[in-house]
Amino acid sequence: MNLIAFLLQLLCWFFIAKKGIRQTEEGKEFINKLDSKTIDFLRWRSISDISLDLKKLGNFFGVIAISGIILNAILMSFKIEPGLFFLITILISLLCWMSLKWGTNKRKETLHWFKYLGLVVFSPWLFYTTDLLNNTTDKKILPIFGEILKSFYGFTISSSLDIAIVLTIISLVGMTLVTLFWFIQNTLILYTFILALWILNKTSKLLLKINEDKIIFLAYLLMPVCMIVMYFT
């Protein structure tokens, strides 16, 4: 909050000082170029397509995430531990990439997710079928999972059919919880970006209609507010 108030105060100071900066030729040229670039940006944002912006942002975060993962692997190969900020950046980029990718093509991405979900839930029956076709006792798959279940939950399951049923139930419950988290995460991140872009577009349209004198007057009003916020936070 303190940082936002500080940045807003700097912006207010700039608008208040614009007339003074224009007194010199260099200052006038600088302000004119800055105004031109600002107006171009506001016009671009006021007519920008949010769905297209989401695709571009998704690609941007995807590049950062993949590049970060590759760079992390290279650093680890040289026994260099990446910093916490670097790892958090990769994680956030990865989550944003996945969420925006889902948001721009919900049907396709949801279908892919449920294909993966179905594979996980029904994989015990693939193991069960493989074990039935395998006549060698020491190479069966499900008894290995039976030992794992015994070590974790303390009960012994000898039948391959019972092991497959238990694994299916565990997978179904686990993947249901993961799917719920996946949906909530994607929805929160997606609509946060949509809201931010919508506010930016609406603000850009509003600023294009406001006279500069009104902005300067507003800057005078905001200055003491920013100072109070910075003092008490």
DSSP 154-181: ------HHHHHHHHHHHHHHHHHHHHHH
At 57, which amino acid appears? L
Q: Name the band, by pLDDT with cuts 50, 70 and 90, for residue 24.
A: confident
Residues 6+ apart with CB under 8 A from 145: 124, 127, 163, 167
pLDDT at 138: 63
What is the mean pLDDT of the segment spanning 167-182? 92
Residue 231 has pLDDT above 80, yes or no: no
What is the mean pLDDT of the segment spanning 212-222? 81
What is the mean pLDDT of the segment spanning 55-65? 94
pLDDT at 137: 61
Q: Which two tokens mark 189?
A: 């991140």
pLDDT at 149: 79
Q: Name the band, by pLDDT with cuts 50, 70 and 90, for residue 228.
A: confident
What is the mean pLDDT of the segment spanning 175-183? 93
Residue 156 has pLDDT above 80, yes or no: no
Residue 134 has pLDDT above 80, yes or no: no
**CA 146 from centroid of its chain's CA atoms:** 38
Beta strand residue intervals within the chain, DSSP E: none
Phi-psi region of 79 (alpha: psi -120 to 50; beta: other; left: phi over 0): left
Which one has a higher pLDDT value, 199 or 19? 199
Residue 136 has pLDDT above 70, yes or no: no
Which one has a higher pLDDT value, 52 or 13? 52
pLDDT at 62: 94
102, HSE (Cβ side, Cα atoms, 13 Å):
22
Provide, rounded to the nearest whole percent, the portion of the chain with pLDDT above 90: 33
Q: What is the mean pLDDT of the chain?
A: 86
Euclidean distance between CA atoms 131 and 109, whole angstroms: 33
At 84, which amino acid appears? L
Euclidean distance between CA atoms 99 and 109, whole angstroms: 10
What is the DSSP annotation of 99-113?
HHHHHHSHHHHHHHH
pLDDT at 77: 83
Q: Which two tokens mark 200?
A: 């930016």
